[in-house]
A and B are shown apart, each in its own frame.
Chain A
C-alpha cells in the first residue's frame, strides 16, 4: 500500500486521496474509509491528519490566505443526501440499461427547462417498455439529483461520492456524472431565474435638449439631459423617462464611479477571495 503513495505520502493526506482518485479503477470503499486507510499507511500520527483538510488546498495564483481571514477555509466535502424514497425512484436504473438512462436524463433536463410533460413520459414508456409510473418516478429522481447537485455546485468527486451509496455500476455512475456535468450550467441558469429579484437594469438611452422657450417664459437657454431608463421588472420591461441638469449628471457619474471603484478596494477583494 505504501508503495503506491511513495514520495507523495509525506505531503499530507490531501494528495493521497487525490492520487488514489486519479488512478481510477473500481472504487469499492467510501471516501471516509479511503481516508482512514491512507492515514494508516502513512507514518504521520492520526491527530495531525485530522487537523488537515481532506483535500489539498490550492489557493489561486496571486491569492494569499490571511491569518485574520473572517471566513474559514472552504468546506472539504459536500455530499448529497438522498432520502429512501429518492433512492427507490432511481432503483430501476441499472436494470433499464444505458439507453434508457440517457432517455430519462434527457426527460429530466427537459422537465427543468419546460416543466412537466406527462405525454413525453408516456412515449418513453412505450419506447422503453417500462411502465409509466416507474418512468415518472425515475425522471423525478434524476431531476432531484441534478437540481440539488447543481444548486450546491458540488464537485465532480463529491457527485461521485454522493451517488456511490446507490450502489450502481461504474458505467452507470459515469453516465450520471456526465449528465450532471453537461447540464450543470444550464440548470444553474434555470435556478438563477427563480431567485427573488429586484427590478434590474436593462438599458439606458439619453438625449441632449436645450429648452428655448415655454408658455410662461420666452428666450430661455436651459440645457437638460433626458434619460430613458429601461428596467426588467418581473419579466416585463418598463421604461422611466427622467431628466437631469448638467451638474447633477456629473455628480451622478462621480458617485457611480465611486461605486464601481469600491469593488477594487482591499476590503471587497478580501471578502471575495475568501468566499470562494
Chain B
C-alpha cells in the first residue's frame, strides 16, 4: 500500500504529538471515517478536541486520513500492510493501532460503499405481473387468449431513478422467458460449486 507525497505529509503531521495530542488524533480519525461513510465532507470537524488546531493543518490531515482509508479499503489491505505504510510516516505504535481498530470497525461498510461506485447495467430488483384474459377488441372479436403484463422493477445505481420495464406476453412467451431464466439459475448454481 502506497500513499501520495501529499498524504504522507499529512500523516507526518498527524504523527506529531505536539500538533496532534492523542485525543485530537482520535477525533480526526472518527471525523474522517464518518465523512466518508455518511457522505458529508465536513462531518465531525467541529469536534471540541479539534478546535485548537490550525484549520489549514486540519484540512490537510483530514484529507490525508481519508486517502489512507480509501486506499486501504480499495486494496483490502491487511493490518500489516497498513502498519508498514504508517510506520513510514513516522507514526508511533499506539496511533497505528488506533487507526487499525477504527478501520476494522468500519471495514465492511467501506467495502459496500466502494463496491457500489461505478457504472453497471440497470439492476432488476423485483417483478410484478398481471394476468388477463383477452376477449375482444374493436378490430377482432372472440380473441380468447390469456395474456400477462410483466413489470420488471429496475434500479439505477447512479441516479437512483427507477425506469421500470413493462411488457406483455402470451403464456407460451412467459414459459419461454421462465425457461431461460431457469437455465441461467442452473448454470449459476453449477458455477458456484466449482
Contact = CB atoms under 8 A, between A and B. Distances in A.
Interface of B is mostly: mixed
Interface in B102-132: 111, 114-115, 117-118, 120-129, 131
A243 B140 contact: no
Interface of A: 151-153, 188, 191-192, 194-201, 204-206, 208, 214-220, 222-227, 229, 231, 240-246, 248-253, 255-257, 259-260, 262-263, 268, 271-272, 275-276
Contact of A260 (B118, B141, B166, B174): B174
B168 A243 contact: no
Contacts of B74: 216-218
Contact of A208 (B120, B176, B188): B188
A195 B176 CA distance: 23
A225 B184 contact: yes
Interface in B54-108: 73-76
A200 to B, nearest CB: 5
Interface string B164-194: 0111110101111110111111011001100
Interface residues of B, number: 57
Interface of B: 73-76, 111, 114-115, 117-118, 120-129, 131, 133, 135, 137, 139-144, 146, 148-150, 152, 154, 165-169, 171, 173-178, 180-185, 187-188, 191-192
14 contacts: A192-B140, A204-B177, A206-B181, A208-B191, A217-B111, A217-B114, A219-B75, A242-B154, A243-B120, A248-B126, A249-B181, A251-B126, A263-B131, A268-B131
Nearest to A246: B188
B168 A152 contact: no
